[in-house]
């Protein structure tokens, strides 16, 4: 009997925490459900410039690296294959449909050290900043211009990373970032 009350209290607290986590995730997924991930694939896929394998970490609103967007296809961490073609970048995440980002939507490419709950060595992540497609007006939402987002990747092979970064910079000349970004000041 002397352990019953503490056990009940712990169970109630745990259930409360899990309930809050579930409600928060549902609210976030509902909030982001109208966001379209990527653009339509071009009819001609284009010449492959570089392919890199690694891990997709997250997509966040621009300059808000601690707020994950629950965009269909980009909502969860996964193994990834990132392909740069002369038409844009294709993100193939395990368990999700492919996402295409055209050259014109890419505006930042820079190293990063952390995003959400992933912290790595200095410049261990690749940040690909891009514009989401504009959202057309719906029943509950007005039309919205494309939002700026940042997608974070951890590329396994350093030589693949160099080839991928060079390829993306060659097709999206404006896709640059600060030479030495220190997220701790964001």
Q: Do 2 and 72 fall into the same domain?
A: no
Q: Do 66 and 15 fall into the same domain?
A: no
Q: Do 73 and 122 fall into the same domain?
A: yes
* Residue 5 structural domain: 1-32
**Contact (CB, 8 A) for 133 and 39:** yes
As a whole number of angstroms, the distance between CA 96 and CA 98 comes to 6
CATH number for the domain spanning 124: value is 2.30.29.30
User: Residue 41: inside a domain, yes or no?
Assistant: no
Q: Do 6 and 63 fall into the same domain?
A: no
User: Residue 120: inside a domain, yes or no?
Assistant: yes
The per-residue b/e assignment along 69-102, b for 16 or more CB within 10 angstroms, e otherwise, is bbbbbbbebbebebbbbebbbbbbbeebeebbbb
Domain count, the chain: 2
User: Residue 43: inside a domain, yes or no?
Assistant: no
- The model's pLDDT over 98-122, given as tens digits with 9 standing for 90+, comes to 899 999 899 999 998 887 777 788 8
Q: Do 108 and 21 fall into the same domain?
A: no
Mean pLDDT of the chain: 83
Report residue 161's pLDDT band, with 50, 70 and 90 as the boundaries.
Answer: very high
Residue 18's Cβ-count burial label (10 Å; 0-12, 13-18, 19+) is exposed
């Amino acid at each position: 009997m002397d352990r019953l009350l503490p056990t009940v209290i712990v169970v109630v607290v745990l259930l409360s925490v899990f309930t809050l986590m579930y409600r928060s995730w549902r609210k976030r997924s509902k909030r982001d459900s109208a966001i379209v991930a990527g653009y339509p694939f071009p009819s001609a896929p284009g010449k492959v410039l570089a392919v890199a394998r690694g891990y997709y970490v997250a997509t966040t609103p621009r300059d808000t690296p601690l707020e994950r967007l629950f965009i269909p296809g980009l909502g969860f961490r996964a193994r990834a294959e990132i392909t740069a073609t002369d038409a844009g970048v294709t993100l193939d995440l395990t368990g999700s449909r492919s996402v295409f980002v055209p050259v014109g939507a890419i505006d930042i490419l820079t190293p990063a050290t952390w995003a959400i709950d992933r912290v790595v060595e200095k410049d261990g992540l690749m940040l690909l900043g891009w514009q989401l497609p504009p959202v057309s007006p719906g029943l509950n939402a007005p039309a919205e211009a494309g939002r700026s987002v940042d997608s974070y990747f951890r590329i396994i092979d350093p030589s693949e990373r160099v080839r991928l970064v060079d390829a993306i910079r060659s097709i999206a000349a404006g896709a640059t970032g600060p030479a030495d970004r220190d997220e701790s000041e964001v």
